[in-house]
Copies of this chain bind each other. A is one copy, B any other.
């Protein structure tokens, strides 16, 4: 029986919105937003879209009118009552009332600020300016919208059965990954794939497939809307934007050197347990660890997000040992460029030596590699980053020079201040 009302309702849509909820975003964005709201709510920031894969000419693929419609739609969203209830009432990381009443009062009234969009050299220049806690919430919707508009552009001319078989193949790919992971007991894997997903519905499918296929090895999703709808754990801690903005705001080299630790001091005032996760690579992991105060060694774990992940984890283990900590009690979260081979390799090497966990992103929710002609659905490296704070440029070095960003002079200064020497270049695919 055709549900006539649904059919007619669908026909009334002016657009098929990609992001339909303010919590269709990563959980760590909300945690960080609350932290920023509490500590630095008046900082004015600029976020900017950066396509690191220049060969994908997004402005040629994606219609500007459609992009504007999608971005405008996100600006029309506000937190729904059910979403607010979930954020206020749910237990996150074992804690009730993770989000404070004053933050929720603010978030319930929030609408996302304006965007600025221009085309240049086949790419979109998409920027967001305004107060930090508002602008930062654009990152994930902006990325998800561009990724999905690109998917739609590629799929536009395909036949009905051709499309069904395309998704059939993609499902089979995900399931084969699940089956391989299943042969290795003790894995802990979460979905971190929101920002570069093929589409919302596809991420939702992948997450549910992981839940059925991996059982206890599946720990949850970073996507708050999916976590809420599917009654899963929302997963995430913090990201580079905190130290990047704190660092940009530093008035001199001494303050700059201290900035990454200031971030974590603020974080420690709010969070404990499995949320006390160090992200050490913003200005180089070796310098960060050697200069870290002792209280940081007491934190629960570390997230390895650039450079060679095994080296990063080995460095963390040596560091904990040097500070008299027992690495076997520590959590190491790998989240950079993971796929099954890498997950299994890292698990084999570190299981038992530390508590290992994986945040599986793009290659979970956007592995359409090899499925269409010319590989036109292959994922690519799109990011949306804080590029300025209170008028000063931000800088990121990371453990991979190919992921560095910021003005050259500032990069040089940061390298000097943080004592970053030679780094190995690792190709950034996704």
> Which residue numbers of A lie inside 8 Å of B, CB to CB?
1-3, 5-6, 9, 159-162, 164-165, 167-169, 171-172, 174-175, 208-209, 212-213
Residues of B within 8 A of A164 (CB): 171
Judge whether B175 and A171 touch: CB under 8 Å.
no
Residues of B within 8 A of A175 (CB): 161-162, 165, 168
Extra 10 A-B pairs, beta carbons < 8 Å, given A165-B174, A168-B169: A1-B3, A1-B9, A3-B6, A161-B213, A162-B213, A164-B171, A165-B175, A165-B209, A168-B168, A169-B172
Residue of B nearest to A10 (CB): B1
Residue of B nearest to A169 (CB): B172
Given contacts A3-B1, A5-B1, contact A212 B160 (CB under 8 A): yes
Residues of B within 8 A of A162 (CB): 175, 212-213
Complex copy number for this chain: 2
Residues of B within 8 A of A3 (CB): 1-3, 6
Residues of B within 8 A of A213 (CB): 159, 161-162
Judge whether B1 and A159 touch: CB under 8 Å.
no
State in angstroms the CA–CA spacing of A7 and B3 once bound together: 11
Whole-angstrom distance between the Cβ of A4 and the nearest chain B Cβ: 9
Q: Which one of A2, A9, A161, A213 has the highest number of Cβ atoms from chain B below 10 Å of its Cβ?
A: A161
State in angstroms the CA–CA spacing of A159 and B162 once bound together: 25
Whole-angstrom distance between the Cβ of A6 and the nearest chain B Cβ: 4
Given contacts A1-B3, A1-B6, contact A168 B160 (CB under 8 A): no
State in angstroms the CA–CA spacing of A5 and B1 once bound together: 9
Residues of B within 8 A of A208 (CB): 161
State in angstroms the CA–CA spacing of A1 and B1 once bound together: 13
> Contact partner of A168 among B2, B159, B171, B212, CB < 8 A?
B171
State in angstroms the CA–CA spacing of A308 and B381 once bound together: 55
Residue of B nearest to A2 (CB): B3
Residue of B nearest to A176 (CB): B165
State in angstroms the CA–CA spacing of A415 and B319 once bound together: 88
Residue of B nearest to A371 (CB): B172
- Can you show 7 pairs from A to B with CB atoms below 8 A apart? A3-B3, A159-B212, A165-B172, A165-B175, A165-B209, A168-B168, A169-B172
Whole-angstrom distance between the Cβ of A75 and the nearest chain B Cβ: 26
State in angstroms the CA–CA spacing of A160 and B213 once bound together: 10
**Which 4 pairs of residues, A with B, have the shortest CB-CB distance?**
A168-B168, A165-B175, A3-B3, A168-B171
Judge whether B6 and A212 touch: CB under 8 Å.
no
Q: Which one of A5, A168, A209 has the highest number of Cβ atoms from chain B below 10 Å of its Cβ?
A: A168
State in angstroms the CA–CA spacing of A393 and B1 once bound together: 48
State in angstroms the CA–CA spacing of A172 and B371 once bound together: 11
Residues of B within 8 A of A171 (CB): 164-165, 168
Residue of B nearest to A171 (CB): B168
Residue of B nearest to A209 (CB): B161
State in angstroms the CA–CA spacing of A9 and B1 once bound together: 10
Residues of B within 8 A of A1 (CB): 3, 5-6, 9
> Contact partner of A212 among B9, B161, B174, CB < 8 A?
B161
Whole-angstrom distance between the Cβ of A85 and the nearest chain B Cβ: 22
Given contacts A1-B5, A1-B6, A5-B1, contact A168 B161 (CB under 8 A): no
Whole-angstrom distance between the Cβ of A244 and the nearest chain B Cβ: 39
Whole-angstrom distance between the Cβ of A368 and the nearest chain B Cβ: 14
State in angstroms the CA–CA spacing of A164 and B2 once bound together: 22
State in angstroms the CA–CA spacing of A161 and B175 once bound together: 9
State in angstroms the CA–CA spacing of A327 and B167 once bound together: 45
Residues of B within 8 A of A2 (CB): 3
State in angstroms the CA–CA spacing of A135 and B35 once bound together: 78
Residues of B within 8 A of A169 (CB): 168, 172
State in angstroms the CA–CA spacing of A302 and B171 once bound together: 43
Residue of B nearest to A1 (CB): B6
